[in-house]
Chains A and B, each alone.
Chain A
Amino acid sequence: MNKLTDLTIARALSGLKSKEFSAIELTKAYISSAEASRELNIYVEETFDIALQRATLSDKKLKSGDAGSLEGIPVAVKDLFCTRGIHSAACSKVLNGFKPPYESAVTEKLWDSGAILIGKANMDEFAMGSSNTTSYYGSVTNPWSPKGAGKKLVPGGSSGGSAAAVSARAALAATGTDTGGSIRQPASFCGVVGLKPTYGRCSRWGIIAFASSLDQAGPITRTVEDAALMLNVMAGYDPKDSTSVNKPVPNYALNLNQGVKGLRVGIPGEYQMDGMSPEIKQLWDKGIEWFKNGGAEVKDISLPHTKYALPTYYIVAPAEASSNLARYDGVRFGLRKSGDDLQDMYSKSRAEGFGEEVKRRVLIGTYVLSAGYYDAYYLQAQRVRTRIAEDFKQAFSNVDVILTPTAPSAAFEVGANMDDPISMYLNDIFTVPASLAGLPGISVPAGLSSEGLPLGLQIIGEPFNEHNVLTSGKFIETAANFDSLPQYIGG
């Protein structure tokens, strides 16, 4: 195990500054690690040459005192972000080969601050999934697996590749996107930190759209402090995105250790579901205990419409997706199959280009928007969504943050949950409500399952109060002292 790949961002930055090692050395270490972990299928496009070029540049900047805030830090970027001239396909056959002539706003900020692209990370096709098993480029294997059992586990999704990269030390940090839990849930499955900022905190420009009112970019890192350092760069107003909020970006890494004394922590009764895994319940209770011991005021709260969150999401997100994915018609980019006439060409190209889950969601989305069904499904779902957001608003008049488990289980085997789409959807049960309300949320590894697999705890905060979310997350991190390593890297 290479020492350089053990470092956190914070530690790497100080090491680079004090010339303990160079950016080239750091990047080379991650490149080796990425090469060595190819069987996990983390990267769908390796950009090692570019990485070395940028690392050389970073070393120059470090020397001349011009270093950016993430100078020399090797990151993995989810295949959903458009990176200029580099493969950006949302892990879909329909976009295979697409090289955008533009760079997404968020990744542009990362490169401007000196970060280095190791490769484009695998993901569920068009961000639709909770397992990274729907990618055109094959599934990702979780670096965690139960000891000696020879099982291959999913890393979670849709940002499975990003979470696995950070977990397997094939990148120091990664970008992901979260629409219904796609950063938080894989972070929990892979034993790393995943942060979904408030909707509107980061720009969506240049991110291949799935569900416009839900998509949000965020960091996946090894520590909470690292997540704050990444968010400092990724966040910010973008006039090219009409849903981007013009609020200043504070230094999210400040005062992370302030603790939780006097903090009001809400425990939503409705998240205690029938048949909840006892391990998950136990972990949650432990978390509650930590907060109490830390001087927080822990209260029971009610989020009455919780159980309707998933069905609401599975109407709204597919509806928006069915419209966002209409542009994949083979005319200006992407896969084109020949057909008898134009409309036939569209139908055949899309039939071949989209995977099963994407087709399912586009069809459901088309159905719920179609004449005669719009009021009963889409409109009703948007009304229920208002109710869900109101539940949170009401709760936040009494508490500062909300503590829940991140996922209903630890990582499951590749191939499980495939019979019935809904059983896969249930993975998002704890993460979807915060997405619908546009709230910030973080998942922090808090313990291990009986099989030795990571389990995460989630903190949900008020809009634009990432500070509370991060400090609570840091508190959990400290209390949990989670130092286990994935089996893949010798844990």
Chain B
Amino acid sequence: MAIDKATVLRISRLARIHLAEGEIDTVAKELNGIIQWVEQLKEVDTESIEPMTSVVEIELPKREDIPDDVANQKELLSNSPSTEDGFFVVPKVVE
């Protein structure tokens, strides 16, 4: 399966990573190289093999329904580049 320019653009859009025009070919080449290399996994017979869900063999731990973990508003907002009146602020989303 080849990763062409259109695919690179689609993936970069999905991943929200802007690629400059000049980068796209290089990225396509590198990604293709990696994908070709991992193609060899198709050789492995995995019929009736379950995909690994977790390396640890334990039950999913649960927590009690107790509201005991809330961040201080100031701390929560402290690392943000833009806040106002207790909100995070971002450029307008077109709905």
Contact = CB atoms under 8 A, between A and B. Distances in A.
When A and B assemble into the complex, do they touch directly, with CB atoms less than 8 Å apart?
Answer: yes
A178 B42 CA distance: 27
Interface centre among A330, A334, A384 (most CB of B within 10 A): A384
Contacts of B33: 420-422
Given A330-B81, A381-B41, A437 B17 contact: no
B51 A379 contact: yes
Contacts of B81: 330, 336
Interface string B58-95: 10110100000001100111111110000010111110
Interface string B6-19: 01100111111111
A366 interface: yes
Contacts of B20: 351
Interface stretch (A184-192, A239-247, A394-402): A239-247
Contacts of B11: 363, 366-367, 370
B93 to A, nearest CB: 5
A20 interface: no
B56 to A, nearest CB: 4
Contacts of A338: 91
Nearest to B74: A101
A84 to B, nearest CB: 10
Interface residues of A, number: 69
A360 B14 contact: no
Nearest to B46: A383
Contacts of B88: 331-332
B12 A383 contact: no
A380 B42 contact: yes
Interface residues of B, number: 55
B87 to A, nearest CB: 11
A332 B55 contact: no
A307 B46 CA distance: 15
Contacts of A367: 3, 7, 11, 31, 35
B52 A386 contact: yes
A367 B20 CA distance: 19
A242 B90 CA distance: 32
A342 to B, nearest CB: 5
Interface in B1-52: 1, 3, 7-8, 11-20, 27, 30-31, 33-35, 37-38, 40-44, 46, 49-52
Given A360-B27, A384-B46, A345 B91 contact: yes
A239 B63 contact: yes
B92 to A, nearest CB: 7
Contacts of B15: 322, 350, 362-363, 366
B58 A246 contact: yes
B52 A315 contact: no
B38 A362 contact: no
A382 B51 contact: yes
A336 B55 contact: no
A245 B58 contact: yes
Given A347-B18, A350-B18, A351-B19, A364 B34 contact: yes
23 contacts: A98-B79, A243-B56, A245-B58, A308-B40, A314-B37, A332-B77, A332-B80, A334-B79, A336-B82, A342-B91, A342-B92, A344-B18, A347-B12, A350-B15, A351-B17, A364-B34, A373-B1, A381-B38, A384-B46, A385-B52, A422-B37, A438-B55, A438-B56
10 smallest CB-CB distances across A and B, nearest first, come from: A438-B55, A382-B51, A333-B79, A383-B46, A347-B18, A351-B18, A311-B38, A101-B75, A346-B16, A200-B56
Given A329-B16, A387-B46, 10 more contacts: A101-B75, A314-B34, A341-B92, A351-B17, A370-B14, A384-B41, A384-B44, A389-B55, A421-B30, A422-B34
